[in-house]
Amino acid sequence: MTEEATKKKKPAARKKKPAARKKAAPRSNGGSSGPAGGHLVIVESPTKAKTLVRYLEPVLDGAVTVKASFGHVRDLPESGGLGVDTEKAFEPTYKILKGSAKVVSELKSAAKRKDQVWLATDLDREGEAIAWHVVYAIGLANGSVDARVRRVVFAEITPEAIAEAFRHPRDIDKPLVDAYQARRVLDRLVGYKLSPLLWKKVRRGLSAGRVQSVALRLVVDREREIQAFVPVEYWTIEVPFETQDDKQRFSSSLHSVAGEKIEIGSSDDATRHVEAIRAAGTYRVDAVRKRQQKQNPPRPFITSTLQQEAARKLSFSARKTMVIAQQLYEGVELGPEGQIGLITYMRTDSVHLAPSAVEEIRELIKTRYGETYLPEKARSFRSKKGAQEAHEAIRPTHAARHPDDVARYLEPDQQRLYRLIWERTIACQMNEAMFDQTSVDIGAPDQNGHLLRATGRVMLFDGFLVVYREGRDDEEDEAEGRLPDLAEGQMLDLVDIIPAQHFTQPPPRFTEASLVKALEENGIGRPSTYAATLSTLVDREYITVDQRRIFPTDTGMVVTDLLVEHFPQIVDLKFTADMEEELDEIARGHKDWPEVLRTFYDPFERLLEKKEKEITRDDLIKETTDELCPKCGGPMLVKLGRYGKFLSCANYPDCKGTRQVDGKERPEPQEVPGEKCDECGAPMLLRHGRYGEFLGCSRYPDCKFVRSKTIGGKCPKCGEGKLSQRRTKRGKPFYGCTRYPECDYALWTRPMDDPCPKCGGTMMPDEEKGGVCLSCGHAQATEPATTGAPTSE
């Protein structure tokens, strides 16, 4: 069913018969076309239609019918061929989408009866394409567009924005539609031409894509860096001191020797420096440097930064962030206020804020936080090159609508995302945070000139931090403490000298947030497509996501290696970024889209024909080994299956002997009592993957929910979650609560497998007591376990 809402103007009351005055026509969710004459307004979704209709009565004269297209109504054919005539200027053949025929019929019927048809789809490239497809699908265009059709765009669903949009309609933006067609046809050519080759040469069900394959290459390249990384030993020397008069303690570290920074690479070197510092005997403050440091507020959200921050602070996937943002934009029922759009349009690369919005934000800051938090002038931000400055950043439609005021009307995830957007928007117009940064040099008057340095940072004014602190990809605490009030020449007492061994760490694996950031920095794709790109990589089983870290699968690595070796242009970062710029030039009306595609396609087609003959399946996925088949004694080969690489007998199909790559038999998945899938409620199975044990839904592949295996009992801090192994940005393992980020409890030491028999809490191994509960303190003797962590008796 389509979403329809109809309103009529109330005519003036007759003097003699006031009771005969007409009432406004009721809003309808049915499929009727509404009254004859008047206006038909077409949007993408029923929710948007419901929000929009309440603002149209004072804007348009006559009856108003609002209908939804339910997104795209036409596209290239799903089956039966490429759908693009590569010989005829790449002319596409569009078909009505399966399931859209009834919607198109209803829109066509409604349009025939109306004096004016308004296309009010979203203001970006995709929205323009939907509007263009609709007018052709319902017969209002055949070369030229019917004169009754007008296009309106708005960045927020508010009375003011709607009135302004309908006062200034325009035609469909042909260059923007051309850019959409170029992008759609280009993606079709790459996907439809390369994917069959992957099916033949690797395995069925795989795909390649102009953006997805480059994103996958970034993940695979990072994994190879990690695999090739060789840790290097280094040492640091921490030196705590105490003031002689009031016994205030603080810490310093060895900074340089004889004026040069040093690298300590061994225990012997560290010992030599420790002995030299200790031998000095007396220690004094040589220099004190103080300076004030400003921390500027972050810029308002654009699509990519919203996805990144929601991933860091809310643990949302890019897809989830965009779904919830769409709900907030299109409108939510706010009790007596009715259906209200809470944020501006969420697909944008502009950091511009409307002057009226800035004025409202500044007034709120002054009223709620005080004038000390309000800059003398409004802050303005410069968008990156090529951004649509006519668009706005993502912000609340009304700053005065505080998250607490709407919380009772929102779903929990809607509430969290709205609060994130509100806080970031308010913070971007506030004063800087101010810090007192102190650096102290401490000299040991020895012959070697060892210089120790202590640093401290103290907040003087919280500024925008009273509202918002930006998230981080790593989980390390960078806070610096307060130093005592020290003066040059002041003598200090040595407390201790602490050498510590470290090893350099490999680069961290990508998170969704850091991968989105890398794609944006390299100009790959557009932020509005990142959510779909990451979802495709997961659906194709090219990557897995564990504790927010992205791992490539064996299949993903094989596909990437094939593309890098045989189709390097497709996965080249610069080429892909340059193509994005070409598509932007088409949108600006500066380039002809068939010419751009011709430049790419002709050499691509020739290369594809050549590689079809050259590439063999065995070259890609068969590796010889020294392993012997456990069944027939024949040699074993490394092959690629649905779940990654495995060892298979070279005598297959006569012999069907197989093993895991590590030589072990793969354990069968086992049901874990009491564990249910968070998404569908089915039992969870203990599975064994490339990176260890994990829990996966028993309904796989229909449901692909996974989570790490939990250890021990209840979380000692929140009492609700359990502990599971995670890794820091640098790959160091630790054990954190499964309810993170709501609960941030973490341990470096592995807890015991079994929960506390007294309270169900988490037990930790103890040399004297065997095991001690972190919640109730219960101690229990244990016997040494043969493998893994200690277990209670």
Cross-strand bridge partners of residue 695: 686, 707
In whole angstroms, give the CA distance from residue 426 to residue 428. 6
Closest among 40, 89, 94 to 67, alpha carbons compared: 40
Is the separation of the CB atoms in 476 and 727 below 8 Å? no
The neighbouring-strand residues paired with 151 are: 119, 170
HSE-up of residue 699 (Cα within 13 Å, Cβ side): 12
- Rounded (5°) CA angle 99-104-106: 110
Locate tokens 């996974």: which residue? 706
Whole-Å CA distances, 1 to 105, 112, 117, 346, 360: 11, 19, 20, 26, 40
Asked if 711 and 725 count as a contact pair (C-beta separation under 8 A), the reply is yes
d(CA 476, CA 614): 49
| Amino acid making up residue 381 | F
Angle, alpha carbons 350-351-355 (nearest 5°): 110
The answer to whether the CB of 157 falls within 8 A of the CB of 341 is: yes
The answer to whether 130 touches 68, Cβ cutoff 8 Å, is: no
Inter-residue contact 105 to 66 (CB < 8 Å)? no
Q: Residue-wise over 255-289: b if at least 16 C-beta within 10 A, else e?
A: bebeeeeeebeeeeebeebbebbeeeeebebbebe
Helix axes 318-330, 46-53, angle to 10 degrees: 30
Quick one: tokens of 398?
A: 């009304």
**Neighbouring C-beta atoms of residue 423, cutoff 10 Å:** 16
Residue 105 token pair: 């019929």
CA pair distance 694, 685, nearest whole angstrom: 8
CA angle (593, 594, 599) in 5-degree steps: 100
Q: Which of 55, 283, 329, 345 is catalytic?
A: 345
DSSP secondary structure letter of residue 484: P
Q: Are 546 and 694 in contact (CB under 8 A)?
A: yes
Beta strands at 779-780 and 770-773: parallel, antiparallel or unpaired:
antiparallel
Find out whether the peptide bond into 784 is cis, omega within 30 degrees of 0. no
Q: State whether residue 763 is helix, strand or coil.
A: strand
55 part of the active site:
no
How many angstroms separate the CA atoms of 763 and 770, rounded? Answer: 10
Tokens linked to 689 = 């993957």
3-state secondary structure 200-241: HHCCCCCCCCCCHHHHHHHHHHHHHHHHHCCCCEEEEEEEEE
Task: State the DSSP code for 474.
Answer: S
| Cβ neighbours around 36 below 10 Å, total | 10
Q: How many other CB atoms sit within 10 Å of the CB of residue 196?
A: 16
Distances (CA, A) of 238 to 247, 251, 479, 495, 528: 18, 7, 17, 11, 48
| 662-691 burial: b if 16+ Cβ within 10 Å, else e | eeeeeeeeeeeeebebeeeeeebbbbbeee
Cβ proximity of 448 and 279 under 8 Å: no
Q: Which residues are catalytic?
A: 345
